[in-house]
């Protein structure tokens, strides 16, 4: 930028409200919308001022979970507090008082909160640990209803002999409280996320447990080189087949996997291994269940949700929160802090952000990228929901500062909302990362509709690199969405015809399996290295899991056959799955040593459709991909900016990765020639076998890495 341009840009920026100068300075195309951006930020900032005046600040407001629900006092009496403004009377009932409607009557204050203190008996809590409890309410009409307490931290299905499926709230107060032993790991240079579901993380057709995950899966995640695990389906959900996206009890962790102490042990053990743990949190909607959920809690449909049709998501058949309601904010923000404090999660992946962002919830809508779609003052954006997202990110930042840690927030958004992953201080929404949801869609469409020789490398590299500047993305080739029944994983698209017959090392390597092995590796590497600032993989997909994912339901006779991950396959030396596992491990380990993700975007110097070759540089590493099915190239000329001597640090053609060992790496040393090529100042010449990916680094950097090791 010239001096005149800088002066002009500086003058233009002075006319922008100070609250959003940061985002406009990064993206000048936002300038026509600065007033709306400033207004949206002010909505959240005004809430911060209000909470400072009424609650002592955002963080103390989020501490409300320490007063709401059940709490054992110093004298072993128990306080129970609940918000139910429509009810005219309430009492606490349970096993402890023989479900009496008269023994523990609650008092109501002017704000709609009911409260009762249950005195200790002989110095012990009157409510036994793990006993059943409910709130019993009287409505203005005289109708009597009972509900599970909203802030309950334990809910379980009833024994089968009870003849019903309604969940039961449990007073959880074990004598032995889990004590965390390990600090949260520091934020790594690059996030490598292993998306996992505890219940399916066992080879047997049954529900796995927190303890089994701790013992069997965490060491594997560590071995693979992932530094973060994203746990799905943790918040309690009555319907297992919902994949954890129809929450019934927000403060309870899924009892089908074990106890709260078991989950705390899992997270603590992960921390001891240097693995951070993200919670897949669902604040975009809630289950419509009445008897074991939040719906119609106090006899109205608007206690925590919007009333009427506005409070219903038709496609998800669920309830939608009223993010402009004071007590809904208390509930949701407290929920976040509860999981940060009580379980020591290291952050959140916020589900359904697109649904939250827009009044149309993204249903039937396409997003062209035109800024007016997002920033028109009278457009479809739900500003109350947007305000909640800003406050949620503020809370995570405050918690990070006060606890000397880094809490990570991830947005699942397909719309491309601008400023979503820019800091609140700059005028953004405040998320750290967004999921690059267009990437897996691209791979599936490509494998489904195009022959190998028809691949459009320009389109592929554009999709991988097309993201907003200074807004970090998590790239992934496939997640749980692609593994679900009704879709196919990449391995299935590549090899399903021979997945059950020719994956044995004792059988001849067929063209179908060979193609599948090579492209599976290349797709993952180019996605990780070009597609974002972080990377995600769904458990089992790293080794080409041979089956899809389907939870027990009426449609499959309640079978658990597909609700599992067959990790046993990677330990069978006679099967080829271990080869893909080996590559995934090597890819992650190489990135950890040499770092290419959390850096400036890559420079793509070549995308040759005829040769089917892609070349790019990122953080001084050179990436070369030959996607051609049959053509190998000798002395292929590749542009490179930085002069020096290069060697291979990762080669997908190694035999240990299911490749053909066509490159003698010991003799492969590449010297730059100072002659411009493909827009770079130098070039090297390499041997490039068909369907092979190479990563090269300067020898001096390789030596530094080896010295550090």
3-class state of residue 3 by DSSP = helix
**What values do phi and psi take at 128, rounded to 5?**
-65, 150
Task: Kindly write down the DSSP assignment for every residue of 363-426, as one continuous string.
Answer: TT------THHHH-TTSSB-HHHHHHHHHHHHHHHHHHHHHTS--EEEE--SS--TTTTS-TTT
Question: Among all residues, which ones are annotated catalytic?
Answer: 351, 412
**CA torsion, ordered 246, 251, 254, 260, to nearest 10 deg:** 170
CB–CB of 590/647 below 8 Å? no
Task: Kindly write down the DSSP assignment for every residue of 443-471, as one continuous string.
Answer: HHHHHHH--GGG--HHHHHHHHH---TT-
**Phi and psi based region of residue 459 (left: phi greater than 0; alpha: psi -120 to 50; beta: remaining):** alpha
Closest to 402 measured CA to CA, from 19, 49, 62: 62
Helix axes 699-708, 577-594, angle to 10 degrees: 90
3-class state of residue 106 by DSSP = coil
- SS3 letters for 284-332? CCEECCCCCCCCCCCCCCCCCECCHHHHEECCCCEECECCCCHHHHHHH
173: Cβ contacts below 8 Å, ≥ 6 apart: 72, 125, 127, 129
DSSP 124: B
Interstrand relation of 249-253 and 235-236 (parallel, antiparallel or unpaired) = antiparallel
Helices (H), 20-104: 21-26, 34-54, 58-62
Task: Kindly write down the DSSP assignment for every residue of 550-600, as one continuous string.
Answer: ----GGGTT--TTSS--GGGGG-TTBTHHHHHHHHHHHHHHHHHH--SSSS
Closest to 321 measured CA to CA, from 285, 268, 273, 282: 285
Locate 570 and state its tokens: 């990677």
End-to-end CA distance of the chain: 41
Return d(Cα 360, Cα 320) in angstroms, integer. Answer: 12
**What values do phi and psi take at 501, rounded to 5?**
-125, -30
Return d(Cα 108, Cα 383) in angstroms, integer. Answer: 32
CB–CB of 193/230 below 8 Å? yes
**CA torsion, ordered 7, 12, 13, 14, to nearest 10 deg:** 90
């Amino acid at each position: 930028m010239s001096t005149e341009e800088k002066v002009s840009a500086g003058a233009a920026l002075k006319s922008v409200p100070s609250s959003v100068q940061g985002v406009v300075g990064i993206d000048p195309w936002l300038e026509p919308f600065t007033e709306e951006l400033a207004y949206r930020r002010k909505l959240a900032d005004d809430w911060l001022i209000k909470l400072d005046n009424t609650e002592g600040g955002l963080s103390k407001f989020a501490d409300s979970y320490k007063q709401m629900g059940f709490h054992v006092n110093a004298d072993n009496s128990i306080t129970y507090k609940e918000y139910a403004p429509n009810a005219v009377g309430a009492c606490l009932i349970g096993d402890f008082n023989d479900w009496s409607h008269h023994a523990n009557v609650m008092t109501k204050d002017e704000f709609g909160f009911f409260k009762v203190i249950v005195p200790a008996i002989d110095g012990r809590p009157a409510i036994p640990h793990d006993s059943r409890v409910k709130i019993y309410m009287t409505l203005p009409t005289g109708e009597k209803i009972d509900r599970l307490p909203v802030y309950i931290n334990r809910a379980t299905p009833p024994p089968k002999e009870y003849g019903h499926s309604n969940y039961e709230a449990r007073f959880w107060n074990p004598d032995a409280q889990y004590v965390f032993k390990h600090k949260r790991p520091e934020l790594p240079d690059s996030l490598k996320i292993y998306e996992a579901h505890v219940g399916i993380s066992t080879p047997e057709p049954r529900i796995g447990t927190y303890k089994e995950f701790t013992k069997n899966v965490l060491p594997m995640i560590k071995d693979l080189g992932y530094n973060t695990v994203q746990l799905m389906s943790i918040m309690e959900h009555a319907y297992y087949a919902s994949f954890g996206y129809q929450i019934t009890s927000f403060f309870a962790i899924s009892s089908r996997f074990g106890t709260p102490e078991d989950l705390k042990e899992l997270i603590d053990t992960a921390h001891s291994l240097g693995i951070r743990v993200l919670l897949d949190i669902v604040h975009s909607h809630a289950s419509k269940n009445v008897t074991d959920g939040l719906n119609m809690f106090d006899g109205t449909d608007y206690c925590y949700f919007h009333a009427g049709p506005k409070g219903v998501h038709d496609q998800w058949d669920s309830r939608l929160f009223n993010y402009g309601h004071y007590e809904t904010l208390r509930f949701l923000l407290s929920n976040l802090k509860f999981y940060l404090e009580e379980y020591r999660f290291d952050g959140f992946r916020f589900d359904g952000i697109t649904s939250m962002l827009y009044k149309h919830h993204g249903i039937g809508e396409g997003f062209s990228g035109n800024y007016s779609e997002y920033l028109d003052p009278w457009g479809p954006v739900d500003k109350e929901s947007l305000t909640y997202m800003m406050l949620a990110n503020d809370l995570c930042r405050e918690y990070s500062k006060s606890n000397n840690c880094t809490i990570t927030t991830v947005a699942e958004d397909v719309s491309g909302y601008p400023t979503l992953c820019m800091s609140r201080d700059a005028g953004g929404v405040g998320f750290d990362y967004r999921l690059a949801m267009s990437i897996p869609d691209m791979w599936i469409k490509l494998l489904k509709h195009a022959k190998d020789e028809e691949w459009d490398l320009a389109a592929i590299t554009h999709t991988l690199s097309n993201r907003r500047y200074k807004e970090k993305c998590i790239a992934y080739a496939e997640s749980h969405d692609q593994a679900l029944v009704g879709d196919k994983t990449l391995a299935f698209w590549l090899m399903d015809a021979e997945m059950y017959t020719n994956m044995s090392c004792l059988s001849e390597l067929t063209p179908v399996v060979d193609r599948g092995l090579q492209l599976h590796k290349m797709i993952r590497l180019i996605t990780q290295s070009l597609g974002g600032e972080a990377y995600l993989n769904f458990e089992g997909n790293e080794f080409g899991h041979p089956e899809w994912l389907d939870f027990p339901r009426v449609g499959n006779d309640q079978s658990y056959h597909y609700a599992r991950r067959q990790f046993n396959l990677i330990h069978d030396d006679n099967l080829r799955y271990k080869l893909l596992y080996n590559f995934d491990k090597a890819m992650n380990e190489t990135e950890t040593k040499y770092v290419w993700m959390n850096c400036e975007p890559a420079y793509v110097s070549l995308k040759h459709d005829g040769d089917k070759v892609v070349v790019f540089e990122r953080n001084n590493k050179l990436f070369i991909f030959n996607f051609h099915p049959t053509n190998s190239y000798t002395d292929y000329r590749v542009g490179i900016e930085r002069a020096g001597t290069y060697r291979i640090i990762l080669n997908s053609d190694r035999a240990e990765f299911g490749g053909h060992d066509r490159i003698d790496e010991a003799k492969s040393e590449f010297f730059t020639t100072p002659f411009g090529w493909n827009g770079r100042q130098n070039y090297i010449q390499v041997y490039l076998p068909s369907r092979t990916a190479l990563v090269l680094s300067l020898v001096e950097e390789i030596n530094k890495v080896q010295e550090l090791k």
